[in-house]
Every structure is written in C-alpha cells, then in structure tokens.
Amino acid sequence: MNRFFVKGKTLFTVNYSLLTILFTLHFSLFTLHCLAQDQHLVDSLQSRLKTAKQDTTKAKILNQLSKAYMGNNPDKAMDYAKQTLSLSEQLDYKKGISSAYNSMGVINMNKGDYLPALELVKKSLKIQLEIGDKNGIAGSYGNMGTIYSLQGNYPEALKHYFAALKIQIERGNKLDIVHSYGNIGVLYMHQGNYPEALKNLYASLKISQEIGDKNDIAFDYCIIGSIYLDQGNYPEALKNVFASLKISQEIGSKSIIAVSSGSIGLIYQDLGNYPEALKNYFTALKIEEEIGGKNEIAVTYHNIGSIYIRQKKYNDASEYLKKALSLSKEISSLENIKYSYKELAVLDSAQGNFKQALEHYKLFIIARDSMFNKENIKKITQQQMQFNFDKKQVADSLKFEKEKETGALKLQKQKAFTYAGFAGVALTLLFLFFIYRGFRKQKKSNHIIERTNQELHKVNNELKETQAQLVQQEKLASLGALTAGIAHEIKNPLNFVNNFAELNNELIDELENSRDEVEKKELLQTIKQNLSKINEHGKRADGIVKSMLEHSRSGTGEKQPTDINRLCDEYLNLAYHGMRANVKDFNCSMERHFAENLPKINIVQQDISRVLLNLINNAFYAIKDKPGATLTLTTLATAHSVIIKIKDNGTGIPESVKQRIFEPFFTTKPTGTGTGLGLSLSFDIVKAHGGKIEVVSEEGKGTKFIITLPV
Amino acid sequence: MIKIFVVDDEPDVELMFRQKFRYEIKTGEFSLMFALSAERALSYMSTLEPFDLILVLSDINMPGMNGLELLKRIRSMYPDLTVFMISAYGDPHNQDEASRLGASDFITKPVDFPSLKQRILNSTSR
C-alpha cells in the first residue's frame, strides 16, 4: 500500500466530512435556536395546543413544535410544519405561512435535499419581504447562505450571510449575530482561511457566552476545535471539542454530541489511534441514525470504512464504504460520491485487486471533474477575498496553494508508479483522458472566472460596508463609555460660565450705584476679568463638544499638524473623568513627562485621539484595583519620529494573551464591557499613519505601550 | 469669623468663591483659603494651628488623592473639623460614603451659594 497516498487521503477526509456536517448543523441552529429536544418545552406546547382555538396563536404553537422536533425527529417536525402551513393559509396569517415554509426548508436541508430546501426558503423570504418582517428576512438570508455554501457556491453564501448579519447588527439581535459570525467563520474555514475563521468564531463564542446560550457555546467550541484540527494543532483541537462534547451532553443536544464525537474520531484517526477513533465514530453514527441526517450518516460510514482499511479489516471496510456510496448516491452528494470512489480504490489496491482499483479511480476522476465548477469558484473566491483584505496574506495563501498543488501532483505521480507496475496500458488511457479533460477545463474556467469576478466584486463591496459598520459601532461603544467623562468635563466650564455671568450682572448693578471712583475702577476690572473667564470656559466647552463629534464622526478625516503634547493631555483628562464616572472609587496618580520642543506632526486627530483613549483606558483598567496605581504618559522626539509611551504599573499581560491583543474581537474584559475592537483598530490607525505600536509587559509589574509616529 | 478652606482642582473656583462671598469677606464674616489638590491641602493644613480652621469644603473628584480619602485623613487628624463634600455626581454611593466617613454635609454642583452660606452658618453655630 502506498503510504503517501493514504496520508493525503486522511487529510481530505478531515476537511470534507467535518465541514458538511458543520454546515448542516449550523444551519439548523440558525432557525432553531435550540437543537436539543426540550421535553419540557414539547410537553407544555402540546398541552397548550390542546386548548388552543383555531387562531394565529395555534399556528405559532404548531410552528414552535415543528422547531422543537427539528433536531431530533424530522418527520414529526415536517408534520407540524405542514399543519402550521394549512392553518395559516386558512387564517391568511402571512407570518405563519412564511414561518412554515422556512421550517420545511430547514427540514429538507437537514435531510440533504438542497434544491427543495432553497425553493421553500425563497418562498418564505418573498412573504417576509412583503410584510416587512425584518427578523424573518435576516433568518431566511442566513438559511439561504447555508444552502448555497452546502452547494459549494461561496460567493452567494457569503453575500447572504453578510446581508443577514447587517440586519441583525441593525436590530441588535445577539443570538442571530452569534449564528452569522459562526456561519461566516465556517465558510472561511472551508476556504482554508484559518485566521479569519478563528476570528469570526471567537466573536461568535464571545457573544454566545455573554447571552449564555449553551447550544451555541457548544457549537462554537466544536468548530474552533475543527479549525485547530485542520491546522494540525491536536491539543487545542481536543481541548475545544471535548469542551463542546461536555456541554452538549449536559444539555442533551444530540446533534452536537454527534458532531463532537465525529470530530474526536477524526482527531484520533489523525493521531493514529484507530480504536478510539472507531469508538467515537460509532457513537456519532448511533445518534445520526436516530436523527436521520443522511449526509452525516454517509460521512460517518465513510470514516469508519477508512479506519477499517487502516486496520486491514477489508471486508468491514468494503461494507461501510459501499453503504456510504449508496447513501451518497441517494442524496446525490457529488462530494461524498467522489471520496467514496477514491477510498474504494484505495481499498481495492490494498487487497491487490488492481483492475477494480482502476475502475474506481476512473469513477473518482469523473466525479471530481463534474465538481469542477464548484471547486473552481471556491478557489477563486478564496484568493480574491484575501487579496482584498490583506495582500500579504494572499501571498502566503498562494504559496500554500502552490505547495498543495505540488503535493497533489506528487501524489498523482506516486500513484502512477504503483499502477504502472500493474496496468501500464490502462494508465496510458488514463493519461490521455487527463489531457482531454485538461483542455475542456481550460475553456470552461475562463468563462467561469469572468462570471465569478463579477460576483466577487459585489460581495467585496458588501464586506466593506459591513466592516465599516462594525468600525462605527466600536466608535459609538467607546463614545458611550466616555459620555460620563464628557458630561463632567463639560459641566465644569458651563458652571463657570453661568456663575461669572451671574456675578457680572450683580457687579454691573453695583457699578451703577457706586459713587467711589476707585471702587468703580475695581468693579470694572473684575467685570472684565469675569468676561474673559466666561469666554475661556465657553471655548473649553466648545472644544470638548468638538472633540466628541470628531471622535464619533465616521469616514476619513484630514491630516493636520498637531501638537501631540496637547492631544495627550486632553485625552488623559477625558479618559480619567470617564473612568471616574464609570468605576466606583477609581483613582490613580498620573505622571506626565512631555518633551519640550516636540515638533508638530501631521496626523488625523480624531483617529490618533481614539488610539490614545483606547490605550489610556486599557491602562486604567489594568491599575484600577491596585494600591499606588500610577499611569505615566511620556512623549519623546527622535530625529524622524515622535514617540508616545503609555505606562502603567498594573496587572501586566500574560504572554499567551499578548500575542492576541491586536486581534479583532479579542478582549479580556468581562463580557459586555469591551468590544474587543479597540486595540485592533488602534493598530490599524497607527499603521495607516506609517507608524507602529509595540507592547512591553511583565505580568504583575505592568505594561508599556509605545506608539511611534513618523515626523 | 468662619475660616473656610476650599479644596478643588479647578483654579477658577477661587475667583468664583471670592466674588460670590465678597460681602462676607468684606464684613469679616468669612475668610477663604484654597488648595488645588488634596495632597496640597493636607500639607498646608499641617502648618496651621488647630483654631485657624473651622470648615473644609472639598471636591470629591480630583486627580491624585480624591476628596473622600482627604475626608478620611482629616477625620483622623482633626476630629472636630467640619467638612463639607462637593461633587458633580450627586450619586447616592458617594453621598453615603461621605456621610459614613463623617462629612457634615454634601453639596452638589452647580453650587447654590446662598444655600451654601446658610448651611455653613447652621453647621458652625452648633
């Protein structure tokens, strides 16, 4: 048996089996919110159903029942969905009709019947658009995204997910945002873009922990585990998948138990621990057969077959692979069929049955080539998207792609050698067949690339829009935290304005009544002094409002020569008062070491002030519970740059956290306190100014952020 | 004469108080002293004789040592001194804390000067 070939196969199995399952599952989650069949819920719905009149309430109960059964009993779920539909049609209850179509779509989807699923969800969407049911629209977009991704149409999938996310962010519906981030993450994972995938999944996990939705927490852990598995990081993979399994067992969510077990199986398979792998596959299979997800069952059959090949139990292997193949044909999953043939070819050659191996291999090639459309789209999307977001990343990914291709080529060559010994003639035929296919591919692909590019352009624009919205959200969030500080800052000058104006009124009366020239002169002086104080404090209030507006304004600001010392001073005060207002008993000493003769530098003021605010706020949080807390703000000038140092003697940043602090959505603050975007945006802003942010930190001793800006 | 020591980090507070209480100062009813931080207030107070001071009026929100901490220290060093706290945040937490630490009164910004005068007179006549 050719070892190299087998290894390559293993990797393929991992990718394909996990993702198909994960997609399906998340899809269900999207509409279900709760996969586990909650017996208590079912019972209470059933009893309410008995007493319900033939009205919209009854339709709602029926649909809830359909959803409650969806995860574990699709037939019952479909029955209730149909009842919902007929009652809603009788009542002309539009929302009920759309919900019923949606549920039916999801059930079809779970069964692997994608085309009817898509039709049903589209029907649902049409009604929702008519009646302006925004939550429903978002849900349908999300479901369509999942169906498209299952069909391998990634541009359409992303487009729909982002459309869903946009509405959900507008409506602040956290649970749905959790699912959209999750779906987008899974899509990135499918494309091999692991950093983006992890970023989105951690965003999803964070919010699901915030709202305490255990289903989603379990699910997010599970996918995070699979991403680590794809990257070959087995310890992290196991940690996350076991976390998922534990929670899903706690809440009795069969679907997630099945996926977690399947994932654990894949990890053990990769680690070469076949008995453990097999044990977990059978656990997964038992549940899958109960629930009836054909796609999942086919994948698990396939995985079990693969293990049996490695254990040289060829009869068992043959049985499971054939079961996988026939089930895959039943649900017309080309992807599954392709891998089944490939694995059968491996089995045949392992048994010395080379003629049949060649037959199976040919069938694999045919299946693979008919999938060409899908895979091509996937590849182009991946490259294009990364190009738009990060040119460096795309360079890496292209390199990776190339290596993968070279690897694949090597595999083919080695395979060719094996066959050459046994079936030279057949190989020549196969070779010709390849060349013929190659020509056809080339022709097809030009056309596809053109069409895909148009799609990509659209998707990219929408991505940009969503990104811009997130940035704006972060701005507003930090503005909210500042409001109290601003209120304090603005109240003091206004108080002076009022008092000095009042005093001047009194003093003018006195002046009018005074006969004493010396006293008159003194009074006039005081009045004048008060007027200049009024002016001074009026300007102070004006400045605060201005900087507040600048802070929240979206879009790109203009660069202007700025006194960094002044900016640092202003924002240190603002942050301090904000902190005082938000955190009980907060206090600290602040040291300012500002360099004299600091040259003015060209910066976008509102951007750099955001950076200062973020870093100062973080420093305050780090020292808030520490006696003798001190924040030191230093400015320095070098020949070509201005340096700002923000130092605290707080808790410090552990090494493991330090590596991640600039990642979007990464936060160590209690849930709901931070958006996790502050440092990542700060990093981007400083980078856009041609500068850099560095961090030096020692746990327990404190942290120093160093911003370098070019002159 | 009631000697009042005002502690606030805003420099123009002095100008404002001196004008608002100009009659009281002129007639010798009040005499005012100012410090821009709690630390400075403490070091200044340590140079005074106990009878030089009758009432301290302190802001709560100040950089460095805050007003509540100052109140605590004053209580331990000069138990008989009357202390009023002033704050822009009239929140119950600060107010409770101030009265727990022994403040005689709690004034919210913006300061109503006639009422402040009345409160000062009431608390010092006792």
ipTM at complex level: 0.90
d(CA A25, CA A35): 9
Across the strands, what pairs with B34? B6
The alpha-carbon gap from A127 to the nearest alpha carbon of chain B, in Å, equals 51
- pTM across the whole model: 0.39
Residue A461 has a pLDDT of: 72
Angle of helix A214-230 relative to helix A194-211, nearest 10 degrees, comes to 160
The dihedral formed by the CA atoms of A64, A70, A75 and A79, expressed in degrees to the nearest 10: 20
d(CA A398, CA A438): 21
- Distance set, CA A517 to CA A513, A521, A524 (Å): 11, 6, 10
A500 contacts B63? CB cut-off 8 A? no
B-chain residues near A580 (CB < 8 A):
61
Highest-confidence segment of A225-234, A464-473, B66-75: B66-75
d(CA B122, CA A652): 51
Residue A412 has a pLDDT of: 55
d(CA A72, CA A64): 14
Residue A53 has a pLDDT of: 81
* Contacts of A441 by beta carbon, 8 Å cutoff, 6+ apart: A369, A372
Name the residue among A503, A507, A587 with its Cβ closest to that of B66: A587
Residues of B with CB under 8 A from a CB of A: 10, 12, 15-16, 19-20, 61, 63-66, 68-69, 88-89, 93, 109-110
The alpha-carbon gap from B63 to the nearest alpha carbon of chain A, in Å, equals 7
A530 contacts B65? CB cut-off 8 A? no
What count of other Cβ atoms lies within 10 Å of the Cβ of residue A462? Answer: 17
* Contacts of A663 by beta carbon, 8 Å cutoff, 6+ apart: A199, A202, A680
Q: Which amino acid is at A313?
A: K
Tell me the pLDDT tens digit for each residue of B23-52: 999 999 999 999 999 999 999 888 877 666
B12 contacts A581? CB cut-off 8 A? no
A499 contacts B61? CB cut-off 8 A? no
The alpha-carbon gap from B124 to the nearest alpha carbon of chain A, in Å, equals 26
Residue with tokens 């995938």: A197
A496 contacts B16? CB cut-off 8 A? yes
Please tell me whether the peptide bond between B110 and the residue prior to it is cis, using omega within 30 degrees of 0. Answer: yes
Q: Does A80 touch chain B (CB under 8 A)?
A: no
Q: Does A526 touch chain B (CB under 8 A)?
A: yes
Name the residue among A529, A584, A589 with its Cβ closest to that of B64: A589
What count of other Cβ atoms lies within 10 Å of the Cβ of residue A353? Answer: 15
H or E segment at B58? Answer: strand B55-59
B15 contacts A533? CB cut-off 8 A? yes
Q: Does A483 touch chain B (CB under 8 A)?
A: no
Give me the mean pLDDT over the A417-421 stretch.
51
A529 contacts B15? CB cut-off 8 A? yes
Best to test chain A binding among B10, B12, B116 (most A CBs inside 10 Å): B12
Which two tokens mark A39?
């017996």
The alpha-carbon gap from B51 to the nearest alpha carbon of chain A, in Å, equals 31
Q: Which amino acid is at B126?
A: R
Are A254 and A291 spatial neighbours (Cβ–Cβ below 8 Å)? Answer: yes
CATH dotted code for B2-124? 3.40.50.2300
Residue with tokens 């209580």: B75
Are A496 and A532 spatial neighbours (Cβ–Cβ below 8 Å)? Answer: no
B-chain residues near A576 (CB < 8 A):
63
Tell me the pLDDT tens digit for each residue of A531-567: 999 999 998 888 777 766 665 654 457 888 889 998 9
Closest Cα to residue A509, out of A527, A494, A525?
Answer: A527
Are A693 and A706 spatial neighbours (Cβ–Cβ below 8 Å)? Answer: yes
Q: Could you say which DSSP state residue A664 is in?
A: T
Closest Cα to residue A275, out of B110, B126, A283, B107?
Answer: A283
Q: Which of A95-109, A509-523, A543-557, B47-61 is the least confident region?
A: A543-557
B-chain residues near A495 (CB < 8 A):
109-110
Q: Are strands B82-87 and B105-108 parallel, antiparallel or unpaired?
A: parallel
Does the pLDDT of residue A15 top 70, yes or no? no
Higher per-residue confidence, A133 vs A429: A133
Q: Give me the residue spans of the domains in chain B.
A: 2-124
Best to test chain A binding among B8, B10, B17, B19 (most A CBs inside 10 Å): B19
Q: Could you say which DSSP state residue A255 is in?
A: H
Give me the mean pLDDT over the A422-444 stretch.
61
A589 contacts B63? CB cut-off 8 A? yes
* Contacts of A4 by beta carbon, 8 Å cutoff, 6+ apart: A410, A411, A414
Name the residue among A495, A576, A584 with its Cβ closest to that of B93: A584
* Contacts of A206 by beta carbon, 8 Å cutoff, 6+ apart: A665, A667, A671, A676
d(CA B37, CA A668): 34
Q: What three-state secondary structure class fits A602?
A: strand
Does the pLDDT of residue A436 top 50, yes or no? yes
Across the strands, what pairs with B86? B59, B107
Residues of chain A with pLDDT > 70, as a percent, come to 74
* Contacts of B74 by beta carbon, 8 Å cutoff, 6+ apart: B42, B45, B56, B81, B83
Q: What three-state secondary structure class fits A603?
A: strand
